[in-house]
Structure 1
Amino acid sequence: MHSDTTDVQRPATARGAVAIITNRRGELLMHLRDDLPGVIAWPNHWSLLGGGCDAGEAPAAAIVRELDEEAGLEPWDLTELFEIRDEHGSGQLITFFAACWDGDETQLPLAEGVKLQFFAPEHLDILTIPPFIRAGIHRHLAARPS
């Protein structure tokens, strides 16, 4: 006998991780994504470095892997902050991390995207940034001590 109330296993929520990386001047490292509509979420937008978690991979492991894969970057003081869902893009639940790095971003071996650039927080408003990334950055900046 078939029941219309059969429990269906729902797939686990896709997860990802991004890092708000700041230098000693308080500037944020932003990543200009490739312009590949239909291939990647948020093409030609300024975002944060990061990406999706592999199956069974924790967000903390994913962000370390993604920073290395995308830019050969090993920041210090990596700290988990909060989660925000990318409602209008990938649908992933994104874990935000904060970290510090003081190098020359133009010398990083960028494997994905167009470029990396540090921006002062007051200049972020002129950039095209995905809404969930902008919300995460503002949330982080508001919580920082003056």
Structure 2
Amino acid sequence: IKLSHCFNLSSTLFGLCQAVGQIENLVDLDIMDNTCIDDKAATIELLTVLRKHKTIKNVRLHVFNIQPSNENETCLITSLLQDSFISHLRISDSIISPELIEALIHASEHRHSLTCLEFYNSQLNCDNISR
């Protein structure tokens, strides 16, 4: 499924989460577009649904406002460390913590799942950039 330009309303986001959870043979989900999921609760719900999904293999995801130690970051780190479905990740307007950097490296080097990573309007510590 490829979806775009529909993620600004919470009702749309939670409807998407419900639909994804009900589609039993979903393999690919592309929700990377110029807009992003800007509802923190919906981002967490989507990642939770995807973690439980039995057939999902590739997700292209655009997330927004990831902050150190917030619930969005914690949920994203858990998915990157324990699951292999995020293949493309765009992070916007965020502060990137060392823990998130470690999870991104793990998803790329150890799980071989994360193949494309983009940052927009995000802050990284200079020491972490070299990694």
TM-score, with structure 2 as normaliser: 0.28
Higher strand share: 1
Higher RCO (C-alpha under 8 Å, 6+ residues apart)? 1
TM-score, with structure 1 as normaliser: 0.26
Larger radius of gyration: 1
Higher helix share: 2
